[in-house]
A = this chain, B = another copy of it.
Amino acid sequence: MLRALIIGASGYAGAELANYLSHHPEIEIAGLVVSENSADKNKLLSNNDLYPQLKGKVDLPLIGSSDYSTLGHNIDIVFLATDHAVSHDIAPYFLQKGCVVLDLSGAYRVNQAEFYTSYYHFTHQQLYWLSQAVYGLAEWNAEKIKQAQLIAVPGCYPTAAQLALKPLLTEKLLNTNYWPVINAISGVSGAGRKANLKNSFCEISLQAYGLFSHRHQPEIAAHLGQDIIFTPHLASFKRGIYETITCQVNQGITRDDILTVFNNYYAHKPLVRVYSEGYPALKSVIGLPYCDIGFELDQQHLILIAVEDNLLKGAAAQAVQCMNIRFGFNETLSLL
């Protein structure tokens, strides 16, 4: 049994991680950690005002983070379900102890220091670890993930967008002069678990935000090697990501060409489901670890539909998937 620590365990992704790991046959949860001054400290994760759905399943206490040094003994794996500033600071501590670290924040996702200066507005201090980090897009980077000590798990928007576009770009089916137009709609859990008037039930309404300025735009563009237009929206549902991607194919490309490429890449990938006809609805993936992809072609224009549960394939499930790959377990262990 490997011992895993989850830091940021009271957040939405952290709780999903705890749920998966609680029934993972190869993993023992070494501790669920929250920040020292969290109101959730010392509560059970399954407390009434936290995750009552986990009663009887994950009745573990939330430990204040000052206890790292104690917890740090005999830890094999650390999941950081923390924001990028925290991940940036604490990842090296665990890495130096030899732990494998799976970071769900943006702190190590792009191996260029200047990326952080431009889009995250801080100076990255961990250039060695930034250079070592492997991007945890599980279906695409398995070989590197197997060797990695620090895995930067991509988040919700980038995972769906890249899984849909990467096979077509790799196989040169797309007109790269046409920037794919990614219209993405996220559930509210994407904003995290915190008191914020913007996330209040009465305030939430379908709305675009961060036009031309969301951090995931350069992340997606950097990893695809393709300029894109990325327009995120927030909508009145708890979880899920729905992306409608409009792009242009090269002359002569047919529907069959596209389906063939998708099948070549994903037929044996258990967590990507390609629709040979029709396209997924949001409900297709809620509570499930899949990314579902459908498409429609009309002469030159191609519309891709990519959906996932933002907390699962867009966060916790992909992190566990990366861990499974890293340690040689079945890729979907505890996920399906």
Residues of A within 8 A of B (CB): 12, 48-49, 52-53, 55-57, 179, 181, 183, 185, 187-189, 193-208, 211-212, 229, 231, 233, 235-240, 242, 244, 246, 270, 273, 275, 277-288, 290, 292, 296, 298, 301, 303, 305, 336
Q: A211 near B296 (CB under 8 angstroms)?
A: yes
The answer to whether A235 and B206 touch (CB under 8 A), given A199-B201, A201-B188, is yes
Beta-carbon nearest neighbor of A234 in chain B: B281
30 A-B contacts, Cβ less than 8 Å apart? Answer: A12-B202, A48-B275, A48-B278, A49-B198, A52-B280, A52-B281, A53-B287, A55-B290, A56-B270, A56-B290, A181-B246, A183-B246, A188-B201, A189-B202, A194-B197, A199-B202, A200-B200, A200-B201, A202-B239, A205-B281, A205-B284, A206-B281, A206-B282, A207-B279, A207-B282, A211-B298, A212-B296, A212-B301, A231-B246, A235-B235
In the complex, what residues of B have CB within 8 A of residue A49's CB?
A: 198
Chain B min CB distance to A192 (Å): 9
CA A202 – CA B200 in complex, angstroms?
A: 9
6 closest pairs, A vs B, by CB?
A205-B283, A207-B281, A211-B296, A212-B298, A52-B284, A206-B282
CA A240 – CA B206 in complex, angstroms?
A: 10
In the complex, what residues of B have CB within 8 A of residue A199's CB?
A: 200-202
Beta-carbon nearest neighbor of A286 in chain B: B53
Q: B201 near A204 (CB under 8 angstroms)?
A: yes
Chain B min CB distance to A312 (Å): 12
In the complex, what residues of B have CB within 8 A of residue A206's CB?
A: 185, 235, 237, 240, 242, 281-282
Out of B211, B240, B280, B301, name the residue touching A229 (CB < 8 Å). Answer: B301
Out of B53, B270, B305, name the residue touching A285 (CB < 8 Å). Answer: B53
CA A242 – CA B234 in complex, angstroms?
A: 12
Beta-carbon nearest neighbor of A299 in chain B: B212
CA A244 – CA B246 in complex, angstroms?
A: 12
Out of B189, B236, B244, name the residue touching A231 (CB < 8 Å). Answer: B244
Chain B min CB distance to A238 (Å): 5
Q: B292 near A52 (CB under 8 angstroms)?
A: yes
In the complex, what residues of B have CB within 8 A of residue A205's CB?
A: 281-284
CA A305 – CA B205 in complex, angstroms?
A: 14
In the complex, what residues of B have CB within 8 A of residue A48's CB?
A: 275, 277-281
Chain B min CB distance to A109 (Å): 22
Beta-carbon nearest neighbor of A277 in chain B: B48
CA A246 – CA B298 in complex, angstroms?
A: 18
Other 7 A-B pairs with CB < 8 A, given A52-B284, A55-B284, A208-B305: A52-B283, A189-B202, A194-B197, A195-B195, A207-B282, A229-B301, A231-B246
CA A187 – CA B235 in complex, angstroms?
A: 12
In the complex, what residues of B have CB within 8 A of residue A296's CB?
A: 211-212
CA A237 – CA B246 in complex, angstroms?
A: 24
Chain B min CB distance to A276 (Å): 10
In the complex, what residues of B have CB within 8 A of residue A197's CB?
A: 193-195
Chain B min CB distance to A46 (Å): 9
Chain B min CB distance to A236 (Å): 6
